[in-house]
Structure 1
C-alpha cells in the first residue's frame, strides 16, 4: 500500500530561490510542450462537417508529438536554454509525464465514457511542486539522511520530522511542495504492514451513515456529529482580508504580502476540515467493522443554491478518507444506492414524500416518527447488510420507533475522537 507522509522543510534563502526558479522553468517548459501538442492536433485533425484543408492552411504536417518525442528533445532544450542544465533531469521528465496524463484524460474517455478537462497553459506561480521520482536509492535525486533531505543540485535541507516514518516502509519518491506558509516534502511510502481485511464471517459491528448539512452525519445507532462549518466561521475574517487585497495595486509588494495572508487563511480552513474528517473516520473505524454510506452525486448537488454549504462539509473528501482509513485498519466499507433513503420508511418501507425543510419522518402507514436523517441511516444499514446478514446477526426483531439524536462531542483537532 502506498502512503503519503508530509513534512515541513526549512530551506535557506538561496535554496528557496533555487526551488522557485526551478518551478518557473518547469512552468515555461509545460507551456511550450502543451503548445506543441495543441499545434499538432490543430494541423492533423479533420472536422466532421468540413474539410480542414478548406477551413485553414495546415502547412507541413509535423511529426507525432507525445511524451517520448518531447522527452527526447530535452537534450536540445538544454543546449538552447542553458538554465535548464541546472534542473535535475528526472524532474523535467516528471513534468512532461504530468502533461501526458492530463492530455490523455482529455482525449481518451474512461470506462464510463467521461473525459477530463482540456489542459491549460500555466500562469506564473501555478506549478508549485517538483517531483523526484527516485528517493533513498542508487542514483536517486532525493535522499533522506537523518533529519536532512539531500536534493541533487540543491543541497541538504533540514526536515521537521514531527512523526517517525514507519519501520519497514520504503520511500519511493519525494515531491517538494510550495504552500502559503512555506515549503514541504511529501514522501510516497510503500508500506507492507497493512493488515489483511477482516473476514466477512468475523464482522460483529455494522453501521449505516447518512451525511447531511444540518448534521454532518447521522449513524444508525442514533448518534450524530454536528457540522463544524469551518469556512462559514472564517468568512468574516476572509472578507476583511480580501477587501484589503482588492485595494492594493496588482503586482506590487504589498499586493503579494496581502495575497499571501488570504492564502494562509484558506490553507488554515482546509487543514481544519481535513483534520476533522480524519478524526471522524478514525472514530467510525474504531467503533465498527463495516460502514455503509450512500453513493451521492456530489458534483450535481454542488450546482444548487446550497453549493457553499455542500462544498464546506466536503462529503466526497470525507468518504475518500473514510475508505482509505478503513483499508489501513483492515475494516470494510460499502457504498449503497442513495435513492429513496430519506423518504422510505425503515419499518414498513412506505414511501413518505416530504420537502427538504421537513426534518421529521412521520409515517402515516405504521405510525413511526423519528428524525429523517436517522431514518435514512437505518435504510442505508439495511441496504448495506440486508435483513439476513448472518455475520451481524441481522437487524434484530424490534427497531426503535422514537429516539432522540445524541451528538458526539469531538475533542480538539489533535486528539482522537472517543465515543
Structure 2
C-alpha cells in the first residue's frame, strides 16, 4: 500500500464547494467534540439523578452520547452470547454520533450536500483524537481554519486520465504527475488545502504485490548503520556523511523570512494587503517544507543505492531534530 499526491485543478464552482465542505466539517467536528465533553461533565462531574416515578438511574438528555439518553440510541441490537442469552452491547460515542447523522441532515439541510462517508470519517477522525489522548498525547482541541483543512473519502472515487471523480463534487481535473500502475485499487482519498491550492492524497493497494519478508542479519553480510547528526544530516557506519542543507536556518532563508514577516507587521490589521503579505509568508514556509521532503527522498535513495542488504537505524525521536 502506498500514497500518491496530486495537485487538483478545480474550477471556481468546485473550489467554492470544497471550501464550504471544509467549513461545515470543521463545525461538525467541533460540535461532536463539545457533545462528548458535555456528556462527560454531566455523567462524571454533575452526576446522575434518580427518576422519582421509576426510581431508576437516569442521565440528562441534553447530548447524544449520554449514558441512558434515548436520543443517542446507546444500545445495539440484541445478540446471543455463547450461553444463548440475549445481550445488548453498548454503542461507542462514535457509533452514536454516526447514527445521528440523518438527524443532523434534517436539522441542518445544507449538510445533505456532503457525502455521507465524508461525514462518517469526520466522526472517526475525532475517535482517533480520543484514542491518542488515552495513549497520552493530549486532549482533543477545537479546530479552527488554520488546523482543519482536509476531509477524506473512502469509496466512490474514480480516476480517468487527468480527471478524478469525487462523490457529490463531480469530475475534477488534476495534474497527473505520476500515473497509477495497472492492478492497483483506490482505498482512501484525502483532500487537503495548502497555500498554493488543493491537493489530493490517493492511497492505493495491489494485493498481488508480496509483502517484504523478514531476514536475519546472519544471512545478510552487507549491513550499514545510520546515525542522525547535527552538523551533518546522517552519519553512515562506513564513514560516509550526508550534508545538512538547513533550508530554514541558512543566512538567505532567515533574511527572506525576516523581511516578509516585517511586511506583515507593517500592514493594517484586517486589510487585504496584510492578508496578501501573510500568504507570501505561508508560501515561503511551504517552499521550505517541499525542499525538505525532496531532500529526504534524495537522501533515502542515496542510502539504499549503496548495494547493501540491511539498514540499521536508531530508535530516536527525530521529529524535533529534522532538517532545519
Per the normalisation by structure 1, the TM-score is 0.63
Q: Secondary structure at the match of 1:295?
A: coil
Distance 1:39 1:249, change over 3 A: farther
Pairing 1:237-256 to 2, within 5 Å after superposition = 237-256=256-275
Out of 229, 235, 258, the residue aligned to residue 254 of structure 2 is: 235
Deviations 1:219-261 (A, max 9, x none): 1211111111011122211111111112233433222222221
Pairing 1:3-402 to 2, within 5 Å after superposition = 3-45=2-44, 60-62=59-61, 63-64=66-67, 66-106=93-133, 108-109=134-135, 115-134=136-155, 140=156, 142-192=157-207, 193-194=209-210, 196-197=212-213, 199-200=215-216, 202-233=219-250, 234-287=253-306, 288-298=308-318, 302=320, 310-313=321-324
Partner of 1:375: none
Counterparts of 2:315 and 2:128, CA distance in 1: 27
Note the residue ranges of structure 2 that are not aligned, 5 or more in a row: 48-57, 68-91
Q: Count matched residues.
A: 281
Q: CA RMSD in A?
A: 2.1
Per the normalisation by structure 2, the TM-score is 0.81
Q: Is the 8 A contact 1:3 1:191 kept in 2?
A: no
Deviates more, 1:20-29 or 1:169-178: 169-178
Counterparts of 1:153 and 1:5, CA distance in 2: 22
Counterparts of 2:206 and 2:116, CA distance in 1: 27
Note the residue ranges of structure 1 that are not aligned, 5 or more in a row: 47-51, 54-58, 110-114, 135-139, 303-309, 314-419
Deviations 1:131-187 (A, max 9, x none): 1111xxxxx1x2112221112222211121111212321111211111111111110
